[in-house]
Amino acid sequence: MTVGSAAAVLLAAGCCLSAQQARTRGDQLRAQNLARALPAMEAAAKAQGARLLPAEAQATSLPPECEAGRDQASPLAPLSNESACRARAQQVGSCIRWTANRRAFRIVRAGETPKLAVPIRADGFPYARIAARGDKLLLLLPQLSPRVVGTATQCECDGMPRPASSMCSVDSIFFIVDDRPSVEIEEVWVPLTEDRIDWVCKTTAV
Average pLDDT, the chain: 80
pTM of the model: 0.75
3-class DSSP state for residue 68? coil
Give the contacts of 137 (CB within 8 A, at least 6 positions apart).
118, 130, 131, 177, 183, 184, 185, 186
- Please say whether the beta carbons of 175 and 33 come within 8 A: no
pLDDT digits (tens, 9 = 90+) for 122-168: 788 999 999 999 989 999 999 999 999 888 888 877 555 544 444 45
CA distance 116 to 106: 5
| Among 57, 51, 176, 196, residue whose Cα is nearest residue 128 | 57
- Please say whether the beta carbons of 146 and 8 come within 8 A: no
| Among 121, 115, 122, residue whose Cα is nearest residue 95 | 115
pLDDT digits (tens, 9 = 90+) for 10-63: 444 457 888 888 888 889 999 999 999 999 999 999 999 999 999 999 888 777
